[in-house]
Structure 1
Amino acid sequence: MPDTTRHPSRSLKSSLPWLSGIITGWISGVVLGFFLKAVQALTGEKVYTLLLNIDFVPGLPPHLPEWFEFALHLGVSVVIGIFYIWWVKRSGHPLSRGLGLGAVSSLLYIPLAPLSSRVPDLNDAGAILYWTAGHILFGAVLGLCGKYVHAKKRPLVQ
């Protein structure tokens, strides 16, 4: 019988950080969503609308309830969270990896903005600034969650 503490299973099920990734993605996605919703309420910039916008998905009705669109956003965040925790467990550097993912995900503004007339234009500097700030915040929250998960997994030095 193999010693699982010395030779943990390398199966996909045991190598993916399901629970910590789901929680990390959910928390980060909620923070991003609430931040962009607050920005939109305070400034009128339609960055929350852009976050939830799925007008471009064929076969879906033109307008869906906000809760459903937010749930789809959280689904994407959870997938990112699972990938992120898996990555950090293998490579370390949770904060820089989180901020990097946040910065890269902010680039989604470029392909998403032209897909709907309900969202800001590609040349809306204010919207780009808020969108980028929200995604950097998303990355920072990923990083903080990853730092916590990474710290819990390290063996204690005696």
Structure 2
Amino acid sequence: MPDPAAHPSPLVKHSLPWISGILTGLLSGVVLGFFLKVIQGYTGEQVYTLLLNIDFVPGLPPTLPEFIEFSLHLVVSVVIGIFYVWWVQRKGHPMFKGVLLGAASSLLYIPLSPLSSRVPDLYDVAAILYWIVGHLLFGIVLGLCGKYINTKKATPFS
């Protein structure tokens, strides 16, 4: 009888990038959310509010309970995490790609800021800097997860 650890089923091999991407997105999204919530709590800059802002989504009320708004943020993070793991598994360079995705996602400040009166102004330098630092942290966490996943390639389930 073949050893399942030495010869994992195709189902397990194909599901692991999804699982890794979901976990990577969840961890990165939670770190970003926690960072921006702490920054908003200490400084009063509405960067966490901006992260959870859904004013612009048609069909949704302008505000929902925080846990629902945060869940929507995590859905976006999971999508990014799945894409990130797929990209790194094909082309390598996990830290570079993680920071690149974090930096690119920080550009969302530009279109999101003018969409609500509850969030920082488009030209609020302090809010922009906190937002960029938070998203670079998001990218670093992506990169660290990608490095961890790449070191696990030697295991039978990679």
Name the TM-score, length of structure 1 as normaliser. 0.88
Runs of 4+ off more than 6 Å: none
How far residue 14 of structure 1 moved from its aligned partner, in angstroms, is 2.6
Aligned partner of residue 58 in structure 1, secondary structure = coil
Supply the distance in 1 between the matched residues of 2:20 and 2:103 (Cα, whole angstroms): 22
* 1:115-138 superposed Cα distances (whole Å, 9 cap, x missing partner): 000000110000000000000000
Determine if contact 1:103/1:136 at 8 Å carries over to the other structure: yes
Determine if contact 1:16/1:82 at 8 Å carries over to the other structure: no
Superposition pairs of residues 109-120 of structure 1, within 5 angstroms = 109-120=109-120
* 1:7-59 superposed Cα distances (whole Å, 9 cap, x missing partner): x97x9x93881100000000000000000000000000000000000000111
Residue matched to 2:84: 84
Aligned partner of residue 56 in structure 2, secondary structure = coil
RMSD between aligned alpha carbons?
A: 2.1
Superposition pairs of residues 1-158 of structure 1, within 5 angstroms = 14=14, 17-154=17-154
How far residue 61 of structure 1 moved from its aligned partner, in angstroms, is 1.2
1:62 alignment partner AA: P
Name the % identity: 72
Q: Which moved more, 1:122-131 or 1:146-155?
A: 146-155
Q: Which runs of 5+ in 1 are unaligned?
A: none
Supply the distance in 1 between the matched residues of 2:58 and 2:35 (Cα, whole angstroms): 28
Residue matched to 2:3: none
Name the TM-score, length of structure 2 as normaliser. 0.88
Aligned residues: 148
How far residue 154 of structure 1 moved from its aligned partner, in angstroms, is 4.1
Supply the distance in 2 between the matched residues of 1:16 and 1:109 (Cα, whole angstroms): 32
Supply the distance in 2 between the matched residues of 1:22 and 1:97 (Cα, whole angstroms): 17
Supply the distance in 2 between the matched residues of 1:24 and 1:42 (Cα, whole angstroms): 27
Supply the distance in 2 between the matched residues of 1:112 and 1:127 (Cα, whole angstroms): 13
Supply the distance in 2 between the matched residues of 1:27 and 1:15 (Cα, whole angstroms): 18
